Amino acid sequence: MEENTILVKEDLSDVVSKFVIYKPLIAKTAKAGQFVILRGCEGGERIPVTLVDWDDKQGTITVIIQSIGKSTAMFNSLKQGDKFANVAGPLGTPVEIKNYGTVAVVGGGVGIAEVYPIARAFKQAGNRVVSVLGARTKSLLILEEEMRAVSDVTVCATDDGSHGQKGMVTDALKFIVEGGEKIQAGFIIGPIPMMKFTSILMDKLGIEPHASLNPIMLDGTGMCGCCRVTVDGKVRFACVDGPMFPSRTIDFDELIRRTSEYKPMEAASLQQFEKDHVCKCGLH
């Protein structure tokens, strides 16, 4: 078996795909909260993706990718038996797993997949795990069964009310706490505004918040510094110091500004890719 080979490819929605990749070295050392960097082909970008699962015995790692730009669209067009050009990791500092008592694990969109190994690790460490899963609509709410299997309480929320409660994850979290749940710490992965507002809410509710940050990265090893974030007034590198940080003092607005730097170029690149893709396969 060649490294980086896709053993299983499963489409979880129109834009979200799950990959099981053969990569024994990473499967052996991965821990909850870490990520890998994927590259599809020669000339391709280095894309950081959080590890969802790993299996030391099989030598495999699992990632779930949402197609949002050219590179992720290209990844999601790969099939079983194809290979990623490069898979490097495990990168980042693992989440410190300890017994807090009760922890809230909050995932938004594809962030549900990314927060899953953290929920599982906290459960295994003896915590009561309260999971809040959010998405725009039912088809985008992934891994509900897996999350339920490692959680004591699971609440889903969709913006359009097509599944679970109608509303945001913040509404659902408030609902749970008002129901009498005492939560000590929270771990949030999702879109930046969602992490910002969930963090603010947790702070108000007396829950110690943590958020996993997704700034622009290049090497992922602390070499380039483009993933600089401000936490507690200090500059930190998300790729090595994070990606999970205590989030009460994260400058989320700065993160939003810095992650939008290449938006116009990325949009043009995706448009071109979609146009070329139509020409090549003739299916669209």
| Contacting residues toward another protein, per CB under 8 A | 25-26, 29, 39, 43-46, 70-71, 85-91, 218-219, 221-226, 228-230, 235, 240, 251, 253-254, 257-258, 260-262, 265-266, 268-269, 272
What DSSP string describes 177-222? HHTT----EEEEES-HHHHHHHHHHHHHTT-EEEEE-----SSSSS
* 88 versus 105: smaller Cβ distance to another protein: 88
Under 8 Å between Cβ of 91 and 220: yes
Q: Least distance (Å) from another protein to the CB of residue 241?
A: 10
Q: Least distance (Å) from another protein to the CB of residue 48?
A: 13
Q: Least distance (Å) from another protein to the CB of residue 70?
A: 6
Gap between the Cα atoms of 120 and 184, Å rounded = 17
* 15 versus 224: smaller Cβ distance to another protein: 224
* 35 versus 187: smaller Cβ distance to another protein: 35
Q: Least distance (Å) from another protein to the CB of residue 213?
A: 13
* 149 versus 235: smaller Cβ distance to another protein: 235
**H-helix or E-strand containing 264?**
helix 263-281
Q: How many CB atoms lie within 10 A of CB 260?
A: 12
Q: Least distance (Å) from another protein to the CB of residue 172?
A: 31
Q: In what order do the strands lie in the sheet with 47-50?
A: 47-50, 35-39, 86-91
Q: Least distance (Å) from another protein to the CB of residue 7?
A: 18
Q: Least distance (Å) from another protein to the CB of residue 174?
A: 31
Gap between the Cα atoms of 143 and 136, Å rounded = 15
Under 8 Å between Cβ of 211 and 245: yes
Q: What is the three-class DSSP state of 78?
A: coil
Dig out the tokens for 9 from the structure: 């490819």
* 13 versus 269: smaller Cβ distance to another protein: 269
Dig out the tokens for 118 from the structure: 């953290």
* 66 versus 154: smaller Cβ distance to another protein: 66
Dig out the tokens for 248 from the structure: 């009460």
Dig out the tokens for 74 from the structure: 């290209």
* 26 versus 140: smaller Cβ distance to another protein: 26
Q: Least distance (Å) from another protein to the CB of residue 1?
A: 16
* 39 versus 123: smaller Cβ distance to another protein: 39
Gap between the Cα atoms of 32 and 112, Å rounded = 13
Gap between the Cα atoms of 204 and 231, Å rounded = 19
DSSP 8-state code for residue 250: B
CA of residue 273 relative to chain centroid, distance: 24
